[in-house]
Structures are given as structure tokens and as C-alpha cells.
Chains A and B, each alone.
Chain A
Amino acid sequence: MIEEKLLVSNLQSNKDKENAFRILVKEYKERLYWHIRKIVLNHDDTDDVLQNTFIKIFRNIDKFKGDSKLYTWMYRIATNESITFLNKKAKINNVTIEEVQENAINSLESDVYFEGDKIQIQLQKAIATLPQKQQLIFNMKYFENHTYEQLSEILETSVGGLKSSYHIAVKKITTYLKSNEDL
């Protein structure tokens, strides 16, 4: 991959913008997809949010000042887009965001793009019991292997705070799984 500074300057120039954007999409589509998928759970919704995320990145790239890393900035947009999507869905259906997540988990069993078993559904249920930020921290640390330093930039939280949130999240999830083993 070409150096980030050059990529950003190409993205912000009229001449090279499209080519640079193609490189950016190629490089980040999978990582951002999986990040979004863990929040919205369903493939079709993830597809919508991923496209919106890249379109937003394209339109707002001139506002990127380089204060943080480019991928940090993109992850932040993807996270915001995913949460905004869930909120909109909740508003349209006149339910809470927790109920939207619960419905999404209940639909997993019949989802053709889900091949997990009972324990993986239980894991999703356990994650859904966490507050929104802890859910993000858990998913990004456990499944996406981000370092605490990277997470600190993306979520704008101190490393210490993230560590303790992650510990609490793991504890809550293991407790949930243990108490729901027979379900």
C-alpha cells in the first residue's frame, strides 16, 4: 500500500482523487465490512452501511486534517454510520435500539449468511447485554485484534479506561454464557 500521506494528498486533489479512492476502498473494504457487520449483524444492512460509509469518506475527505491516522478516522465514520443506522431503524419501527439488536439476533438462525451454532448465538446475546461502548470495545479487541492504542484513537478513550472496560466486558460475557449454558 502506498504511503498514507501521499494517499491522503491524492484523495484531496481533484486530479488523482478517484484513483486514490479506488486504492482506499480496496484496502479497507473488508476490515470496515467486518467492523460494521459486528454492530448491525445482518449482511444486507452491513452492505448499505458500508456503502454509505465509503460515500461519506469520499465526500468528506477534504475535511480530514491528518490529526489522526486515516484508518482511525474511517473507523470512526463506520462506527457512527452503524449506530446511526440502528437508531434510525429503531425510530422507524418505534422500538428501542436494544430491541432492534434483539430482533437482529433472533433472525440469525434463519439468516443464510450466518453459519454459527447455538454457542455463537448465545455469544451475540451476551454481547447485546453490554452497553453500546463496551460492545464496540469487546468486538474490536476480541474479534478484530485492535491494540488498545488503536482503540484509544478510534473511540477517543484512554488506554486505561479501555482496558478496564474490556475486562468488565469479558467477565460479563463469560458469566452470561455460564448462566445460560443449558438454554
Chain B
Amino acid sequence: MKEDKNTEGFNTPQNYFDDFEERLFLKISEDKLPKNNGFKIPDNYFNEVEDKIFSELNQTETNNGNKIISLFSKKTIYYAASIAACAIIVFSLFNSDKSIDDIDEILVAEIEQFIEDENISFDTYEITSMLIEDEELNLENDLFSEELLEEYLLETINDTSLFLE
């Protein structure tokens, strides 16, 4: 092809002609797409949104400046509950007619109930270790006399083969 005569002094960006086709075809593809996306906004929306933003900001800034402490926050409830609990204990201690023994009885009953409810459990090893530690405890003599043991076995064991032996 003949060299163009009128290009002196003019230049093009680097690689301009290399990707020209690609850009051209992209443009053709783009032209087939809709020019707008059909979205609308309510009348006067952009004037109103400014007010919304500022009122929202003023509200949150005021809240940040003067901290509002909710009456029903968790912390408040905990404080109130602990004060109430202390008050009840003090009141019941000073106004109670019951003797210390009565209180002990109540406590023992409560502990028994607590264990019965299976809130606490010991396995066999734990129980034996506790019994061994208590040196004064004599199982044979104190708890199970020979008569008692015999009586218990006669009442509870039904296996006749044992008697035959």
C-alpha cells in the first residue's frame, strides 16, 4: 500500500491500531444493549433524602453525645437482682425467729434434695475414698449387724439354688 502523504506531525497512541477491531466490535455489541435500565425514583426524592440523612445523623450524634442508659439493660438488671438478693438475705437473717439448728436442718434438707435431683453425683471410687478417709467409720459393726444382714438376704434373694448350697 502507498505511504500516506498527510500524516507528518500526527501521531497515534501506542498499539492504537492493534486493538482497534476489538474496540470496534465491543462498541457494536454495546450498541445493541438497552441505553437505560428503567429505574425510577419517587418525585422529589433527592431533596428529601438530604433531610433524612441529616436527621438520622443528628439523632445518632445526640445519642452519642448524651449517653442514654436504658433502664432495662442487662447490667442494670444484674445490679438490681444482686441488690435485691442481698436485701433478702440481710432481712431474713435479722428477722428470723428460727434458731441456728433450724437453719442447719433446712440446709441439710436442701442439700439432700439437691443430690436427689441428680445435680451432683459421685462414682463408687469417690464414695469409697471418702469412706476410707473417715477412720471412725466401721461398716461391719455400725451399719450392718449379722442379724440385719441375714434378715435382708432372706427377704430379698429369691434364688432357691443358693439355699441348697
Q: Is A38 part of the binding interface, using a Cβ–Cβ cutoff of 8 Å?
A: yes
Whether A26 pairs with B37 at a CB distance below 8 angstroms is no
**Given the contacts A25-B53, A113-B40, A114-B40, A123 and B33 also touching, CB distance less than 8 Å:** yes
Q: How far is the CA of A163 from the CA of B53 in the complex (A)?
A: 36
**Given the contacts A51-B49, A55-B53, A37 and B39 also touching, CB distance less than 8 Å:** yes
| Closest beta carbon of chain B to A51's beta carbon, Å | 5
Whether B37 pairs with A174 at a CB distance below 8 angstroms is no
Whether B53 pairs with A30 at a CB distance below 8 angstroms is no
Interfacial chain B residues near A177, Cβ < 8 Å: 32-33
Which of B22-30, B75-83, B105-113, B152-160 lies at the interface?
Answer: B22-30
* CB-based nearest A residue for B37: A120
Interfacial chain B residues near A22, Cβ < 8 Å: 50, 54
Interfacial chain B residues near A131, Cβ < 8 Å: none
Binding site secondary structure of chain A: helix
Whether B60 pairs with A55 at a CB distance below 8 angstroms is yes
Which A-B residue pairs are the 5 nearest by beta carbons?
A: A116-B38, A120-B38, A113-B40, A174-B29, A54-B53
**Given the contacts A29-B46, A30-B46, A142-B30, A51 and B37 also touching, CB distance less than 8 Å:** no
Whether A51 pairs with B53 at a CB distance below 8 angstroms is yes
Interfacial chain B residues near A55, Cβ < 8 Å: 53, 56-57, 60
**B residues apposed to A, CB below 8 Å:** 22, 26, 29-30, 32-34, 36-42, 45-46, 49-50, 52-54, 56-57, 60
Q: How far is the CA of A41 from the CA of B38 in the complex (A)?
A: 10
Interfacial chain B residues near A134, Cβ < 8 Å: none
Whether B60 pairs with A113 at a CB distance below 8 angstroms is no
**Given the contacts A167-B26, A174-B32, A43 and B53 also touching, CB distance less than 8 Å:** no
| Closest beta carbon of chain B to A77's beta carbon, Å | 14
Q: Is A8 part of the binding interface, using a Cβ–Cβ cutoff of 8 Å?
A: no
Whether A116 pairs with B26 at a CB distance below 8 angstroms is no
Contact of A33 among B33, B34, B41, B56 (CB under 8 A): B41
Interfacial chain A residues near B46, Cβ < 8 Å: 29-30, 33
| Closest beta carbon of chain A to B93's beta carbon, Å | 51
Whether B33 pairs with A174 at a CB distance below 8 angstroms is yes
Contact of A58 among B33, B34, B36, B57 (CB under 8 A): B57
Q: Is A95 part of the binding interface, using a Cβ–Cβ cutoff of 8 Å?
A: no
